[in-house]
Chains A and B, each alone.
Chain A
């Protein structure tokens, strides 16, 4: 650090304090961003492979704390305990993000492998670090690309093992959770529509295309392409919105123009 000027030294300290990175990593990030603090944070957070050193013994201890008494995995009780420790509601969306990091196969359980590798990837080997990372995980939802990955991950994670489709109730629950973050104005109508008209499980294709629909089509449906390859359920939703006058039919003919 000797060769750095005072302001640069300060910045390195700041980055280290906030991200928990080592001096070396903090320095790298700052150099990469031309010594702009915010840029340095971007650089740091956008590198998914940054692994800070995690102590495997500590990880093993953590696992043992939550592991089920009979099975070699973490089940509902363990997860509840974890949530308590983290001071996080079990329904909090950050648990989904955590599961995503772990590449958990199914909700409400973590295998040992999933737990350990997930925590390693996040640079966590103690409860304290764990708590600190919560904020970071929340922030990941703001990133468009990551949100999409987490959203699509949620489908496989939330459905029953061995099923190809996601039960409607679970899907609606997940959508409400996810779109509370993303702020899609039509989410409630979508859920109502499904309960009234569809009443069947949701396919993976419909799930993933819904996100695209929410992202690209504006709530007045002005740029909705009826000839497009939207899943049939989404076409029906648009019809439902038009029929119930939730959205005005596209005004293509302006009578004033005649």
Chain B
């Protein structure tokens, strides 16, 4: 009593068989006549009805078996045909943003074994295609720009990043809603983004584009004018995109360089935002990623305190006072990007400033060496022009050049260069900013658009502007090449360290495995190139850290 033998053998088996046959017939005609969404609606309806039937007049144990049968006949058998239907299949639904149909598709296909794999695959292909199209669009726009400023990240690239963020938002929503947060779809999204997010645009890598995008949001007068909330949100999204970029170390370096400029030239719009993004970066990429940047921000805070002590020192030592208001920012070398320091010949007035500060600094610490980076300084100087007196905000380099005209009315390019002791590149740049740009403080002879070594310069006493105080910008040198060089150098060290670490613990390891483990260890920051790893291995062999096994050249041994 109570056993299901008769039910199962005499009734259920036949019922299941007939149901299967029934649905098989139905499906074979539906698949031809109906669009994918319509078919799915019918399928869903059928499943619901069968479920109801079981509830009404069958034993509950039949439910899973019956539903499985129906699912098999309606879905498994026709899965690929359904998904690949030309105008209504999965691709089309994604293209036309048919969210509801996609949700249904998810619900149905999640019931059949391995049903979601092809759906996730199509999703991945779709997102990849959309992303790649964005890249191409931006690339086309960038290359159609005529000549000028090819190396500078422009508006098109900004727009591109915005669009990628929007694309990401859109499809994350899909993953969360239609695809119910399923890991397969998270993975598909990630892989899709990894494909196109690593493509550069207009000669700039995606790492650089993201860093510049952040810079524009965080700096004063940046191209993005957003509310605080919007800024926070956007920064959050940018950090999420960073996860897809393999050259994270390159991003870090570009970001650091731009952060330095913002901090040193007082271009940072909002301290809180600066700290906030660093926190987000730290969460995503680890403390090591942001430690230097945090150090930079701290340095500025310390610098303010230091300045207060310096001013006190000056009030207490009146004869030490250089006669000029001086603000010094002391930077901790390890945190900041490396800057070349040139031996600029300072005007006499400034030389005293440097000495005074040096003496003061000696009273604070005896064991530190101060290296002055004049290329980063700014100066406010008073220009006594005939129309009216004006205040000019310039860089130290520009100020040094202008002050030369206090003792000479007219100077040649070579005289200026000799007196300042700077390179041609720097001299051309600074003279250009003073004589060929918006504000012509100096008159150039001949009055051409660019500076030549044969030019002569004179103080333009007639210069004026409606403002009393103007800023004369000195465009920065293109840092891109240097950043890439620095990052490559750091990568070589990182690869070396990783190989040594792995070999030290494993003692003996085959080539393939060593490379694999190295790639894994370094993956958080960048994707090491196989050739680069090989070169480092060979270098380490030459430096006697490793040797090849005598019998198997593919095996390496650690040399203690």
* Contact A203:B534 (CB < 8 A) given known A228-B511, A229-B554: no
For B548, give its contact among A205, A227, A235 (CB under 8 Å).
A205
Q: Is the CB of B554 within 8 A of A232?
A: no
Residues 530-550 (chain B) with a chain A CB within 8 angstroms: 531, 534-535, 537-538, 541-542, 548
For B553, give its contact among A164, A204, A209, A227 (CB under 8 Å).
A209
Residues 412-448 (chain B) with a chain A CB within 8 angstroms: none
Residues 197-244 (chain A) with a chain B CB within 8 angstroms: 203-206, 209, 212, 227-232, 235
Interface string of B347-373 (1 = CB under 8 A from A): 000000000000000000000000000
Interface string of B389-416 (1 = CB under 8 A from A): 0000000000000000000000000000
Q: Is the CB of A229 within 8 A of B541?
A: no
For A228, give its contact among B537, B541, B554, B556 (CB under 8 Å).
B554
Q: Is the CB of A204 within 8 A of B535?
A: no
Interface string of A146-168 (1 = CB under 8 A from B): 00000000000000000011000
Q: Is the CB of A203 within 8 A of B512?
A: no
- Complexed CA–CA distance, A235 and B541 (Å): 17
* Contact A212:B538 (CB < 8 A) given known A228-B511, A229-B548, A232-B531: no
Q: Is the CB of B542 within 8 A of A232?
A: no
* Contact A229:B542 (CB < 8 A) given known A205-B548, A235-B534: no
* Chain B CB within 10 A, most for which of A203, A212, A228, A232: A232
- Complexed CA–CA distance, A203 and B544 (Å): 12
Tell me which residues across on chain B come within 8 A of A203, comparing CB atoms: 538, 541-542
* Contact A204:B511 (CB < 8 A) given known A229-B553, A229-B554, A232-B531: no
Tell me which residues across on chain A come within 8 A of B512, comparing CB atoms: 227
* Contact A232:B538 (CB < 8 A) given known A205-B548, A209-B553, A212-B553: yes
Q: Is the CB of B542 within 8 A of A164?
A: yes
B75 to chain A minimum Cβ distance, whole angstroms, is 34
A224 to chain B minimum Cβ distance, whole angstroms, is 13
Chain A interface bracket (under 10, 10 to 19, 20 to 34, 35 or more): 10 to 19
- Complexed CA–CA distance, A113 and B512 (Å): 45
* Chain A CB within 10 A, most for which of B510, B512, B537, B538: B538
- Complexed CA–CA distance, A228 and B531 (Å): 12
The chain B residue with its CB closest to the CB of A213 is B553
Tell me which residues across on chain A come within 8 A of B556, comparing CB atoms: 229
B530 to chain A minimum Cβ distance, whole angstroms, is 9
Q: Is the CB of A232 within 8 A of B535?
A: yes
- Complexed CA–CA distance, A13 and B550 (Å): 41
* Chain B CB within 10 A, most for which of A204, A205, A209, A229: A229
The chain A residue with its CB closest to the CB of B554 is A229
Tell me which residues across on chain A come within 8 A of B541, comparing CB atoms: 203-205
* Contact A205:B538 (CB < 8 A) given known A229-B511, A232-B531: yes
Residues 126-172 (chain A) with a chain B CB within 8 angstroms: 164-165
- Complexed CA–CA distance, A165 and B510 (Å): 25
- Complexed CA–CA distance, A228 and B512 (Å): 7
Q: Is the CB of B542 within 8 A of A231?
A: no
The chain A residue with its CB closest to the CB of B512 is A227
Q: Is the CB of B511 within 8 A of A231?
A: no
Tell me which residues across on chain A come within 8 A of B538, comparing CB atoms: 203, 205-206, 231-232
Tell me which residues across on chain B come within 8 A of A165, comparing CB atoms: 542
- Complexed CA–CA distance, A252 and B538 (Å): 30
- Complexed CA–CA distance, A32 and B512 (Å): 46
* Chain A CB within 10 A, most for which of B534, B535, B553, B554: B553
Q: Is the CB of B534 within 8 A of A205?
A: no
Tell me which residues across on chain A come within 8 A of B534, comparing CB atoms: 229, 231-232, 235
Tell me which residues across on chain A come within 8 A of B554, comparing CB atoms: 228-229
A149 to chain B minimum Cβ distance, whole angstroms, is 12
- Complexed CA–CA distance, A230 and B541 (Å): 13
- Complexed CA–CA distance, A229 and B555 (Å): 8
CB-CB nearest 9 A-B residue pairs: A229-B511, A229-B554, A232-B534, A205-B541, A203-B542, A232-B535, A205-B538, A231-B538, A228-B554
